[in-house]
Amino acid sequence: MNIRKKIESAEKDTLSDMAQLSSQSRGRLKAEPLCAVRPVFQHDRDRILHSNAFRRLQYKTQVLLLPKGDHYRTRLTHTLEVSQIARTIARALRLNEDLTEAIALGHDLGHTPFGHAGEETLDKLYKDGFRHYQQSLRVVDVLERDGNGLNLTMEVRDGIVKHSKGKGPIITKDPGVTAITLEGRVVRIADIIAYLNHDLDDALRSGVIKERDIPKDCVRALGNRYSKRINTMVTDAILMTAKCHDGNIHVSDQVYESMNRLREFLFKNVYEVDEMKTEFRKCSRILKSLYEYYFQNPDEFEKDSYGFRRRDALERRVCDFIAGMTDRYAFSKYEKIFMPSPWNVY
């Protein structure tokens, strides 16, 4: 019995006409035999989950730099929250949950240490520029499995590289940044739903902001609690997308305006406050020092990187190596290279 074929047949019977069927995937970069048990998107999900880059996310900054409390988000817990929200939306709309989850779990694999401060630093240092979503695609295409990549399907790769918004529109019809599947578009909005709410929650927990600071119109439209706000956004996205049924993600005007307002509030009062920027400038100097040291001392880089991907240009390799570091590994390397060690004299 071929279990995969039975699952694919069940997808045809149960999923929406807006869903991406596993049996109709556009395929992989390199052809390979199909699994007898897992459809292609489930196989992709498993490959991402077992990757080294995925495990490193637990020690990469989400918003707060190396928080001492146990309940603050990291890049890994952010990824898991995005996955949960995206799967809830996908299930309600009868979309392909395996595809949705694979994109969600892989979307931030290319993030640097120290969050967006690290991304901005590498973007200034690397001659071709640096974007975490492009690096996420490079991780799954090239860097994982000792330079062989994960060989994911086109749909998952497309969703990963098109998830990011920055300060751009939450929902866009620009074909250059719009995922080819509705599952990919679901992950894009799930990403912002997740970070709007958990970054707000972490900022409140840390004392960076107070409840009274949150815009009153956002509270009225979305709710006065973390769980209530998420539920409002998720339910609205499900109902509006199901109502339009045109293959695109939709939210109501009121929720869309409130999400934009909340994002503006977080940029002004959390991400770009002087206290936060001061600490991240220090982190930026760490990455800049490491980058310049390795570029100027290629023999030392070869030792630290174990000669990984020698066929690539040195600057590309240094960029990949630093982008893959966790916060604590970057701190450790900086300390070892630039900080004096006490003499062991007794």
Confidence bin at 170 (pLDDT 50/70/90): confident
Higher-pLDDT residue of 341, 23: 23
Above 90 in pLDDT, residue 174?
A: no
Position 157 scores a pLDDT of 98
Strand partners, 28: 153
Confidence bin at 307 (pLDDT 50/70/90): confident
Q: DSSP per residue over 198-230, as a string? A: HHHHHHHHHTSS-GGGS-HHHHHHH-SSHHHHH
- pLDDT tens digit string along 219-263? 999 999 999 999 999 999 999 999 999 999 999 999 999 999 999
Burial of 172 (0-12, 13-18, 19+ CB in 10 A): middle
Higher-pLDDT residue of 177, 12: 12
Above 90 in pLDDT, residue 65?
A: no
Is residue 129 helix, strand or coil?
A: coil
Residue that is written with structure tokens 């200034």 in the block: 124
Position 1 scores a pLDDT of 65
Lowest mean pLDDT among 61-65, 94-98, 155-159, 280-284: 61-65
Above 70 in pLDDT, residue 345?
A: no
- Percent residues over pLDDT 90 in the chain: 86
Q: Which residues of 215-253 are buried (b: 16+ CB within 10 A; e: fewer)?
A: eeebbebbbeeeeebbebbbebbbebbeeeeeeebbbee
| CA 214 – CA 216 distance, rounded (Å) | 6
Higher-pLDDT residue of 131, 170: 131
Lowest mean pLDDT among 26-35, 52-61, 66-75, 214-223: 66-75
- pLDDT tens digit string along 1-44? 699 999 999 999 999 999 999 999 999 999 999 999 999 999 99
| CA 80 – CA 58 distance, rounded (Å) | 11
| CA 73 – CA 93 distance, rounded (Å) | 28
The residues, ordered by sequence, that sit 6+ positions from 60 with a Cβ below 8 Å of its Cβ are 74, 75, 76, 111, 112, 113, 114, 115, 326, 327
Structure tokens at 171: 């929902």
Above 80 in pLDDT, residue 166?
A: no
Give mean pLDDT, residues 279-291. Answer: 95
Q: What is the mean pLDDT of the chain?
A: 94
| CA 183 – CA 226 distance, rounded (Å) | 25
Q: Which domains does the chain have, with CATH numbers?
A: 38-277 (1.10.3210.10), 278-335 (no CATH)
Q: What ranges make up the beta strands (E) of 71-208?
A: none
Q: DSSP per residue over 101-113, as a string? A: HHHHHHTTTTPPT
Higher-pLDDT residue of 171, 144: 144
Confidence bin at 346 (pLDDT 50/70/90): low
